Structure 1
Amino acid sequence: MAELREATTRASRGDAALGFVVASVLGQPAALAPERRTELRRAGLGHVVAVSGMNVAVAAALVQGPLLRAGLLLGGSLTLAAALAWLPVLAYLGVTGGEPPALRAAVMFGLAQLATLTGRPGHGLTALAWTAAAMLAWRPAWGLDPGLHLSLAAMAILVHPSAPRGLVAQSWRVSFGTLPIVLVHFGQASLIGVAANVIAVPVFTLWVLPLGIAGMVAAQWWGPEALRPAALGGQVIIDLAGLAARVPEPPWWLMAGMAVVGLALRLTVRRPEVLRWVPGMLPCVGVLAALAYLGRERSPEPPREWVAIGGSRSAAIIVPAPADRSLACVRDPWLAPEAWPELLAALGFRGAAAVVAPRSPPAAAVVQAELERAGMMFEGTCPEGPALKSLRIHLEGCQARTRLRRAVVRAGPEGVGAECWIGGVFVGATGPER
């Protein structure tokens, strides 16, 4: 699997469509150029290039019915039908290496399949509640994970007794139903993104994902060219993201107005053909509550004095230079040298005043040379910065929250207002910030 990921990532360089397939199917965002990933985030489609539980939930729910019928027609056996319906989910788990978000959605899908095999009456919301309780009992820190929240919300919409039939209607309900969670966790959400998801999720589910998995299997014989059919669908999503990212974002009150209209229709209309396009009452109330929460007055944010990237044992520490706060002082830069120009720019620095690595001077020299080539190396004085021991509690907390081996944390003096980098934003007690 590691060889497959390396080969396909290398082959996709310079090819946006092929890079999208590798990024979305294998969960390798580095295969897609940074500017493309930025467009996807602005268009509200950033989740497509992650191994997302929501993607797996949507895909599993959509393929279950057709594949169950196909299995019954082929062999007449319920066991064969259930096994056939399991194939896409197992294949996706295999090519992604069993990432936790995909595993969570697969467990939920497995319970539904088990009910089918045993002949017991299935109740999707009950199975979902048991799955969520078991996962939180196993690892309570998952209760703070945005990925789990999105996965549970998407599955709750899909397994609800009043869930609409039809790919487009389901995509619309899931996209709007997860808006409150996106607003709470990331501080903003895009109505353009909701519309883009209505198109992108069906294309990804019915085109990119199945052809991408088949292409990964066939890559050992035909190489990366086996991914070309899936890349055609990837190009559709990339073009859609490029268009949506350039559309001005509608004002927040339009989102609130849609939620109010949805509530009014839910309370007054009884025609099923109309209600299948109307979001549920809970998502509408959630959007209004989230907008009210985000609109409240907040205390001023404390100044950011340092950023730490790493784990509890080793971390790169970045602090502003005292004389010019647009320059960074970098200590122990363990990341790849070519990553530092883009990283410092993303953190708002125009360059570095100094790069030091007391335990590995050659590593500092290589990073400094890379910054000089990029025109981002300047002269300046730097403070010592916080000790790793004082950062450990913040790094460990962020690792528990993201379940990643490496975390990104920033804070003010003495660790005040510490925030954790989650899904492209800093999230903390004072709210998310891009």
Structure 2
Amino acid sequence: MTSMTPTRISASSASEWLSAAAVPLSSASDAHRTEQLVSLAFLAATLERQSTLTAPSSPLWEGLYDALARVPAQLVHLLPTHPAQPWLRLSALAEFLGEPSLAGVILNALTALLGEHDTARGPHDDAYEAERCEVLAICWARRGRIARVAGALDDAQACFEEALALIGSAPWRDARLAAELGLINLSVARGNYPLVEQQCSALLASTAGLLAPVHAAAAYQMRAIARRKRRRWLDALLDSWSAYDQLGDASAHRAELVVSMAETALEVGDLYAAAAGFNNAYREALATGAQFRVQAAAITGRARTINSCLLGDAAPVLTVPAEEIENARQSLVALLSAPLAPRERAYALITMAEWQHREQDIAGAHTHLAEAGALAAEHDFFDYQFRTDTLRERLSAADAQHTPSARRASVWQEHERHPALVRLAALV
């Protein structure tokens, strides 16, 4: 597997981003992506110079129409004619292209225009004020998402809480949904899976009939993650398929769902379904331009699946060609040289340590586990802390040998014919 890696630049303004990006982007292999990012930066600079919020209208904006069409819809209630709508779409595109710092530049400029600058012009009617607070809250929720992906979980929580404070008791619209889903995502990042399941179930119950498909899919999928982590595998798969069916045609969101289902199949030892899922997710992620983290999860999951095959961690044991084994290992090595977000990096490091454990490279496994453990402790990734501690104990055992998991084999046999697994294995 090959992959396109995003750049990681920190900037507080469009001009600062362009200065920092000039060198790495000039040598990037993906010239089209580079062109899109530069257009985004120049548009962000025009937003920073505005004194009254107006929608973009220039050849640069028109040139991004195709790219914007590939970004999954995120706002379903804000009027398309609202001048903030295109800017929020542009910030989402920056995130989609792997440049959260540039997305933050756009959100900062929007917040300034709708915050202090807008208030200084005098009082507005109630309808205008409600819409202004809605857009400001969306900006804060987006900032929270950027902070969460960067591993700044406390900052992310503060952003989501600020978004909820801005809208108060307003009805369920884009801002409240983004903030509530963001808080659930934080619980996922912290590994508090009982709370995740409780939050998702409450959200789905309280918003029945109100959620747009993309929001309902997100809630189902986060509950699926929680149920998988709590070893309720079939419930997790059924939730994932509920989310999948909400989304319809191929999309970047759907690729992420398939990754999660493949991870569930791997947990129960159905390596046929896991391999099919990770391969499908990787192909769909590339085809739809999904965020790099989805590609990273598919690469890591594929490596874990092959490692389980080689360990005999499921029944029946699958035979993997030597070329495929080497390809998976090299893809994992290449992934670890990419600028991953903290959680994705910790996951890849643990996977490499597991691979090295099988190869009896105990020193290498300890090295990767040490970095993974440090990341997990720094960012409160409690589930990964548990995994690093467990693997470290195995490495410290006298023979450091792996014993195939009877639990996985028996669970796989128990659920072998379940339609949810059969459907996943049939993905092409």
TM band (smaller chain): under 0.3
The two structures have a TM-score, normalised by structure 2, of: 0.26
Q: Tell me which protein shows more strand as a share of its residues.
A: 1
The two structures have a TM-score, normalised by structure 1, of: 0.25
